[in-house]
Amino acid sequence: MLKSDRTFFLRPQDMIGIAILAILLVVVLPLTLDNFRLQFVGKYLTYAFVALGLVLCWGYAGILSLGQGVFFGLGGYCMAMFLKLESSSVEATKIQTTPGIPDFMDWNQITALPLMWQPFNSLTLTIIAVILVPALFAFIVGFAMFKRRVGGVYFAIITQALAAIMTILIIGQQGYTGGINGITDLRTLNGWDIRTDSAKTILYFVCVALLIACILIAYFVKSSKLGRILVAMRDKEDRVRFSGYDVANFKVFVFCLAASLSAIGGAMFTLQVGFMSPSFVGIVPSIEMVIYAAVGGRLSILGAIYGTLLVNWAKTSFSESFPELWLFGLGGLFIAVVLIFPNGLAGLWQTYIAPRLGPLFGGASARRASPPAATPPAAPSSGTAAPAAAE
């Protein structure tokens, strides 16, 4: 009957795409990269969570947030607070004036653990906080703005201001947040040393598993009626409103979802890299994260993942050889995306490569309902695999 008539939320070409990404991340990269490089990929993947949220929020719903670093940071800080408390046991900190509290608090003449730190003694509460604290914050911001119909460029500017405010707040409240240094010297997770190579490899796989889970969530949302409402809203907001929907609620929802996804990435960042600092919260990282999604293709869930990996790989290799040139490169890349390939790598894949592989991808090239989203695996993946060959 209808082509749009499907019962399962993944189309065959989506499953192939996810499978290829999974094989790349679980088999190909771990086998071809040394531990040191694999840890880099693990770090990049934590940004991919943010890019994933941006695809839903920006690509589908048309809400450009230039402050996703705030949510990445909130997730990261929640996790860091737990790890810090664990590494600040009374014996480990017995040289302090007040043993048993994080070192930076002691340096700032704080003599008891602040109330806001208390819940982070528990891992369960921490995991809940990683997901809920950013969502709650996004809810407050989103509710206040979307109910008042603040949108478009104004919303982008306000989120950017939030990123700046959050950085200033974290740096200013040194006694509670560790200030500009962030929260460092994290050692164990429930007694398990996260600094060893084997722990880092395990964390890499945990990160990949979580990312795949989040990708599935994104596909589920995208293929539900809610996903189509987001696209409809981006196009004709008034028509959706006058079809009986409270548009603001849908925007708040997708903004909160993007915040939670970013926060999971932030928490995984803290675990893999071993610290969290305000430099991952501010304006610059927030905009970089938007570029990841733009390069990969803001309408493509998988494209954004590849975009993140590629841009970060380029950043690492570039800044190893020409550190001062990287920012120009990044700026140029962004301009190129906007001017030449507005739908990013996924768009290129779809226009030039997918039609030639048509039969292979279950008719991905055939015209299909919702936005030009059917997604692209192999093209960018060969690019990501390139560093392996290059090393």
Beta-ladder partners of 192: 189
Are 2 and 362 in contact by the 8 Å Cβ rule? The answer is no
Are 16 and 242 in contact by the 8 Å Cβ rule? The answer is no
Query: In angstroms, rounded to a whole number, what is the distance separating the alpha carbons of residues 63 and 55?
Result: 10
Beta-ladder partners of 284: none
Most distant CA atoms of the chain, gap in Å: 74
- Binding of other proteins by 139 (CB under 8 A): no
- Binding of other proteins by 280 (CB under 8 A): no
Query: In angstroms, rounded to a whole number, what is the distance separating the alpha carbons of residues 248 and 383?
Result: 39
List, in order, residues 6 or more apart from 55 with CB less than 8 Å away.
218, 293, 298, 299, 300, 301, 303, 304
Q: Which of 169, 180, 236, 352 forms a contact with other proteins (CB under 8 A)?
A: 236
Q: Which of 203, 231, 263, 309 forms a contact with other proteins (CB under 8 A)?
A: 231
Identify the helix (H) or strand (E) that includes residue 193. Answer: strand 192-193
Task: Supply 247's token pair.
Answer: 């548009």
Region for 362 from its dihedrals, namely left if φ exceeds 0, alpha if ψ lies in -120 to 50, beta otherwise:
left
- Binding of other proteins by 250 (CB under 8 A): yes
- Binding of other proteins by 370 (CB under 8 A): yes
- Binding of other proteins by 4 (CB under 8 A): yes
Query: In angstroms, rounded to a whole number, what is the distance separating the alpha carbons of residues 288 and 313?
Result: 13
Are 66 and 290 in contact by the 8 Å Cβ rule? The answer is yes
- Binding of other proteins by 142 (CB under 8 A): no
Q: Which of 371, 376, 377, 387 forms a contact with other proteins (CB under 8 A)?
A: 371
- Binding of other proteins by 382 (CB under 8 A): no
Q: Which of 221, 311, 374, 379 forms a contact with other proteins (CB under 8 A)?
A: 221
- Give the count of residues interacting with other proteins (CB under 8 A): 32
Cα 334 to Cα 20, 64, 130, 168, 349: the distances in Å are 27, 15, 30, 27, 18
Q: Which of 114, 118, 196, 235 forms a contact with other proteins (CB under 8 A)?
A: 235
Contact stretch for other proteins (CB under 8 A) within 113-121, 195-203, 208-216, 234-242: 234-242
Nearer to other proteins, 228 or 315 (CB): 228
Q: Which of 174, 228, 319, 333 forms a contact with other proteins (CB under 8 A)?
A: 228
Nearer to other proteins, 172 or 355 (CB): 355
Helix (H, G, I), strand (E, B) or coil at 189: strand
Nearer to other proteins, 250 or 349 (CB): 250
Q: Which of 249, 332, 338, 342 forms a contact with other proteins (CB under 8 A)?
A: 249
Nearer to other proteins, 189 or 231 (CB): 231
- Binding of other proteins by 261 (CB under 8 A): no
- Binding of other proteins by 108 (CB under 8 A): no
Contact stretch for other proteins (CB under 8 A) within 22-30, 89-97, 249-257, 275-283: 249-257
From 285, 296, 267, 306, select the one nearest 66 (Cα to Cα).
Answer: 285
Nearer to other proteins, 261 or 379 (CB): 261
Nearer to other proteins, 273 or 354 (CB): 354
Query: What is the length of the chain?
Result: 391
Chain residues binding other proteins by CB under 8 A are 2-5, 221, 224-226, 228-229, 231-232, 234-236, 238-247, 249-250, 253, 367, 369-371
